[in-house]
Amino acid sequence: MSEPTGLAWVALSFAKLLAIFVVYLGTVAYTTLAERRISAWIQDRHGPNRVGPQGLFQPIADGIKNLLKEETIPGSASPWLFVLAPALAFVPAFVTWAVIPWGAPLPTPWGTISLAVADLPVGFLFILAISSLGVYGITLAGWSSNNKYSLLGGLRSSAQMVSYEIAMGLSTIPVLLLAGNVAMGDIVAQQQATSWNAVLLSVAFLTFLVSAFAETNRLPFDLPEAESELVAGYHTEYSAMKYSMFMIAEYANMMTAGAFISTLFLGGWDIPFTTWDSTGAPSALKSAATFAMLYAKTLFWLFFFIWVRWTLPRFRYDQLMALGWRVLLPLLLAYIVLIASVLLALDAVGIGRGGAYVATLFGVNVAVVAVVAFWLDRGRLVSPAASRLQVQELERLRQVAARRAAIAAAGSRGT
């Protein structure tokens, strides 16, 4: 398996980049439609269905409309920063996915190439680093607008994103403990050799998922935009294409988050219950099938983001901060120590990769999830306080009825 060199390598890199960019833009465009159609479906209404069959041309119509609409720049805004902000949100959103391997290596006449735009040795640290740059665009948008809603939205967003970045970073440490490397290819290979990290590290998977929602500003963590409090948050003053760029960046970030979760915890491009995709010589068919697999996993997460939006109510800001700093941070620190200890214990009894390894880690995770669920629940669902309340309520009603009967009896004796 030789790798292409020289000019062929640069050309192939550019071709990969262009192909994935087009896939991204197409998916983002149709996620905006999917968001509206799925929202409509959940709320039992039609949603946009007039432009083309089933509203399929709606994203194109929206794009043209946004390009031609009048855009306003408030007189009191800082014009340069105001124009720069959407670009600062847009650029990191489309650079983060460079390291995600979208499928098994593809053989070409010039050599075998990886399906990641850049197979960097720093691996997912690149994603964490670049995605945190997105906060500059949002904060700057809020500040440069010189609008109170925008400023508050921008401030909330920056505090929220930095808080959950810690939880997100710490959730990836257990993955490192298992994979022993930050490179995305090694993490996928480790999951193919043992089991998906969602099984081995369920707690980290769940905390990572929660942080991903907070990092992409999606409900239940959409406080930077919170329609009922801040109009539209940091992009209140934005119109036409600049507004559209924030939306494109948000959906691109959602897609990257979906692909990132899938790669770290759901085996990446691994097709479950088969070893055909990861063994033997690379072929175009394998590349296509594994790409379709990761794409399907990413689409599932996009659907999940939209689904949760209409399922959970929005957090209060103090609840959001408490969850990030007082629940996720100590939980993850304890979890990292626990996983490191379990790995050491497995070494001490001489268990290598295999059934016992997977079963032990899964058992530990189930135990931790049970304890944490019980602790966070504080007797609300697991031991339903609601049912106890109903008993008390019933007792109170019984007493009221008895008192009324006694008064009625006394009244009838009196007359």
Q: Which of residues 320-339 bind another protein (CB under 8 A)?
A: 321-322, 325-326, 329-330, 333, 336-337
Extract the tokens encoding 165: 């970045």
Extract the tokens encoding 164: 């959950």
Task: Answer yes or no whether residue 199 interacts with another protein by CB under 8 A.
Answer: no
Instruction: State the nearest-atom distance from the C-beta of 344 to another protein, in Å.
Output: 5
Instruction: State the nearest-atom distance from the C-beta of 182 to another protein, in Å.
Output: 6
Please identify, using beta-carbon distances, which residue of 18 and 312 lies nearer to another protein.
Answer: 18
What binding mask, one character per residue, do residues 205-244 give for another protein by CB under 8 A, x or -? --------------------------x----xx--xxx--
Buried b (16+ CB within 10 A) or exposed e, 374-409: eeeeeeeeeeeeeeeeeeeeeeeeeeeeeeeeeeee
The number of residues in the chain equals 415
Task: Answer yes or no whether residue 407 interacts with another protein by CB under 8 A.
Answer: no
Please identify, using beta-carbon distances, which residue of 50 and 148 lies nearer to another protein.
Answer: 148
Extract the tokens encoding 3: 């790798």
CB 191 within 8 A of CB 353: no
Task: Answer yes or no whether residue 153 interacts with another protein by CB under 8 A.
Answer: no
Sorted by sequence, the CB contacts under 8 Å of residue 393 that are 6+ apart come out as: none
Instruction: State the nearest-atom distance from the C-beta of 321 to another protein, in Å.
Output: 4
CA 44 to chain centre: 26
3-state DSSP assignment of residue 118? coil
Residues in 95-134 at the binding interface with another protein, rule: CB under 8 A: 95, 98, 117-121, 125-126
Please identify, using beta-carbon distances, which residue of 182 and 254 lies nearer to another protein.
Answer: 182
Among 7, 68, 281, 410, binds another protein (CB under 8 A): 68
Task: Answer yes or no whether residue 65 interacts with another protein by CB under 8 A.
Answer: no
Among 22, 54, 71, 359, binds another protein (CB under 8 A): 71
Extract the tokens encoding 248: 């494109």
CA gyration radius, the chain: 26
CA 350 to chain centre: 37
Instruction: State the nearest-atom distance from the C-beta of 66 to another protein, in Å.
Output: 8
